[in-house]
Amino acid sequence: MRTVVVSIFIIFLSAVSFAREVKVKVIASEENIARYLANREVVKYTSGTIVVSCGEQILPTEIGYGKIIEKKLLPTGETEFVFCYTIRDKHTFHIAGIVEDLFKNLFYYIIFPGMLFSIVFSILISWVDRKLTARIQYRQGPPILQNLYDLLKLLSKEVVVPDIAQQWLFIISPIIAFSCAVLVSSIIWLVIISPSYSFVGDVIVVIYLMTIIPVMFILGGSASGNVIAGIGVSREIKLLLSYELPLITSLLVPMIKSSSVKFADITTASVISSISGIVSFIVAIICFVAKVGIVPFDVSEAETELAGGIFIEYSGFLLGLIKITKQILFSITPLFLIILYWFKGPWYSFILKYAVVLIIFIILRNTNPRLKIVQITKLFWYLVFPISLISVVLALIGV
Amino acid sequence: MKLFKKSLLKSLWVFHLPLSPCNNCDIEIVDALTPRYDLERFGIQLVGSIRHADVLLVTGVPNYKNWQKVKYLYEQAPKPCFVVAVGTCACGRGMFKDSLNSPCNVDEIVPVSMYIPGCPPKPEAIISGVVKLVERLKSNKL
Ligand code: SF4
């Protein structure tokens, strides 16, 4: 025990090193600096002066992010900037930087694009969904905070864990599903706010995280030990097997078009303006409707025949987590689709695009009856999957 | 706590428990959820599983086969859970009071918070009953 404490202390000490602060002057045009500040990637540091050049890259760990502390307009028309930099040595950690990064990431995950924000956003979006559904059925519809009331009520209620359930799996699976949904939402929102948060392979990370959510529902449902939940689980597995293949095939198209698996690169290519883009966009919308689990594909939940199906044994807090996970997924999938296919354009057009995709979701949900699992599997494997294969081939040809 | 209570009253999820009714009360309950009356305005939803429910809508007369199951179902519901008896049958067994196959009233098995009489009660009566239940809960009489 004592050795562990001592070694942790030594590691901690060796990790601490003091950062040096340097001030550097740079002469550059306003435009270059703005571009630099937006992208945070194009600075080269050479002993006292920095050269702003937009082609070369330098690792952001070697030179910290600078802050402008002074700005002067030169008579030549260029501007002189004085930056304040924190230099870190290559081979030692900078503990303050690590702590700062940790807090920043925690802030991203818990507050702004992460948990709190995505909960509020998803509550509003699913209110839009419920209200529009109500208006389509000539009803008045719930008040704007209805989903919040539902959530708070579920949080305050008793949690019943069945005796025959595999208890820890039953409890932990909605929690993992919820944290995956929050992670997806924070990655996507950060990319929307600034493409510089994008990292290599983040599209694949998001696809995997989105797959973990139904897998966790499957685990939780089968851990509950209920027979009806068992039927729901078997349907959910078949549903997953049906839509996952055409979904990933259709998401290949934007990756092929931009030859990259990074959101930042995919956003610069406007995929939807090509034939293969449109075809795979439609396929992806159908697959995402199945992934979110709304009406034409809600066989696993099926209130009227399976009485809640896969979630039949969940109550209270855990049910609240499941509901909010589904709502976050519902509100975030249109964003994901737009980023991959349709991102180019001014920011206000973004809201319009979001509304269009959302309304397509809602109309699909309100105009279709629930399909049987046989019909779903046939639809996805025999109709949707070949179409998405064709779109991939078209994209490879370059159409 | 106040917030939780308010949110409970704004989103009552209803589980429908028929105890061998003649089916008229059930039809009227389903009628109350149709677009014409639209109970979703008040956040009321029909749920399929007892684990999701806040309100148990009981219709019909308990008989020897199912009267213990009512208790069993009530115990399975996550608390707080309220029982509403819909129809004369569930309120006081009506004409089946001395019937040989009905052991007892609903309120002798589980605590009933609200009675909605009528054979069957109109959807308006059901809605006003639910509203009265919400008001009683608000003024902490339960
Ligand atoms: S109260 Fe009347 S309508 Fe309702 S179940 Fe009893 S007999 Fe049927």
Is any Cβ of chain B less than 8 angstroms from the Cβ of A135? Answer: no
Instruction: Give A224-292 as a DSSP string.
Output: T--HHHHHHHHHHHHHHHHHHHHHHHHHHHHHHHHT-S-HHHHHHS-GGGSHHHHHHHHHHHHHHHHHH
Which residue stretches of chain B have pLDDT < 70?
141-142
Nearest atom in ligand 1 to B59's CA: 5
Averaged confidence pLDDT in chain A: 79
- Residue of A38 and A89 predicted with greater confidence: A38
- Selection from A130, A180, A170, A128 nearest residue A328 by Cα: A180
Q: How far apart are CA A94 and CA A92, in angstroms?
A: 6
User: pLDDT tens digit string along A113-159?
Assistant: 888 898 999 999 999 999 998 898 888 888 888 899 999 888 888 88
Enter the DSSP assignment of B61. Answer: -
> Which chain A residue lies closest to B37 (C-alpha atoms)?
A139
- Contact call for A157 and B47, based on CB within 8 A: no
- Selection from B123, B122, B89 nearest residue B107 by Cα: B89
pLDDT at position A177: 92
Q: Is the pLDDT of residue A17 over 70?
A: no
Q: Is the pLDDT of residue A232 over 80?
A: yes
Q: Is the pLDDT of residue A26 over 70?
A: no
pTM for this entry: 0.79
User: pLDDT tens digit string along A157-193?
Assistant: 888 888 888 888 888 999 999 999 999 999 888 888 8
Please name the residues in contact with A267: beta carbons below 8 A apart, sequence gap of 6 or more. A191, A195, A339, A343, A344
Q: Residue B34 corresponds to which tokens in the numbers above?
A: 């149709």
Query: CB of B121 closer than 6 A to ligand 1?
Result: no
- Residue from B45, B51, B82 whose CB has the most chain A CBs within 10 Å, to mutate: B51
Q: Residue A157 corresponds to which tokens in the numbers above?
A: 């209620």
Ligand 1, pocket-test mutation among B25, B95, B99, most atoms within 8 A of CB: B25
Instruction: Give B79-124 as a DSSP string.
Output: SS-EEEEEHHHHHH-GGGTT-TT----GGGTS--SEEE-SSSPPHH
Is any Cβ of chain A less than 8 angstroms from the Cβ of B43? Answer: yes
ipTM for the whole complex: 0.86
> Which chain A residue lies closest to B43 (C-alpha atoms)?
A142
pLDDT at position A163: 85
If you measure from the C-alpha of residue B12 to the centroid of ligand 1, how many angstroms do you get, rounded to a whole number? 24
Among B7, B52, B76, beta carbon nearest to A308: B52
Residue at A94: amino acid letter:
H
The number of C-alpha atoms within 13 Å of A210 and in the hemisphere containing its C-beta is 31
Q: How far apart are CA B13 and CA A253, in angstroms?
A: 44
Query: CB of B86 closer than 6 A to ligand 1?
Result: no
Among B35, B43, B51, beta carbon nearest to A313: B51
For chains A and B, CB pairs below 8 A equal 87
User: pLDDT tens digit string along A233-253?
Assistant: 998 899 999 999 999 999 888
Domains of chain B: 11-138 (3.40.50.12280)
Q: Which residues of A touch B6 (CB under 8 A)?
A: 149
Query: CB of B105 closer than 6 A to ligand 1?
Result: no
Among B40, B48, B51, beta carbon nearest to A139: B40
Q: Which residue has the tokens 């004409």?
A: B95
Q: Cis before residue A143, ω within 30 degrees of 0?
A: no
How close B138 gets to chain A, by Cα (Å)?
15
Specify the DSSP element, H or E, that contains A352. Answer: helix A347-367
If you measure from the C-alpha of residue A303 to the centroid of ligand 1, how many angstroms do you get, rounded to a whole number? 25
- Contact call for B7 and A153, based on CB within 8 A: yes
Q: Is the pLDDT of residue A256 over 80?
A: yes
Please name the residues in contact with A102: beta carbons below 8 A apart, sequence gap of 6 or more. none
Q: How far apart are CA A284 and CA A364, in angstroms?
A: 13
In this structure, the strands spanning B82-86 and B114-116 are: parallel
C-alpha distance from residue B123 to each of A63, A71, B58, B86, B128 (Å): 71, 72, 15, 11, 9
- Contact call for A308 and B54, based on CB within 8 A: no
Q: How far apart are CA A215 and CA A161, in angstroms?
A: 20
- Selection from A103, A93, A68 nearest residue A16 by Cα: A93
pLDDT at position A181: 92
CB-CB contact of A193 with A219 (8 Å)? no
Residue identifier of the C-alpha nearest atom 3 of ligand 1: B120
If you measure from the C-alpha of residue B59 to the centroid of ligand 1, how many angstroms do you get, rounded to a whole number? 8
A188 phi-psi bin (left φ>0, alpha ψ -120 to 50, beta other): alpha
Where does the pLDDT of residue A81 fall: very low under 50, low under 70, confident under 90, or very high at 90 and above?
A: low
Classify burial at A213, counting beta carbons within 10 Å of its beta carbon; exposed 0-12, middle 13-18, buried 19 or more. buried
Counting residues of chain A whose pLDDT is more than 70, the rounded percentage is 76
Q: Is the pLDDT of residue A49 over 90?
A: no
Q: Residue A45 corresponds to which tokens in the numbers above?
A: 């540091």
Where does the pLDDT of residue A67 fall: very low under 50, low under 70, confident under 90, or very high at 90 and above?
A: low
Counting residues of chain A whose pLDDT is more than 90, the rounded percentage is 18
Lowest mean pLDDT segment, chosen from A77-91, A172-186, A294-308: A77-91
Q: Is the pLDDT of residue A303 over 50?
A: yes
Query: CB of B119 closer than 6 A to ligand 1?
Result: yes
Query: CB of B25 closer than 6 A to ligand 1?
Result: yes
Enter the DSSP assignment of A372. Answer: P
A319-333 burial code (b ≥16 CB/10 A, e <16): bbbbbbbbbbbbbbb
If you measure from the C-alpha of residue A89 to the centroid of ligand 1, how many angstroms do you get, rounded to a whole number? 82
Residue at B63: amino acid letter:
N
Specify the DSSP element, H or E, that contains A128. Answer: helix A115-136
If you measure from the C-alpha of residue B119 to the centroid of ligand 1, how many angstroms do you get, rounded to a whole number? 5
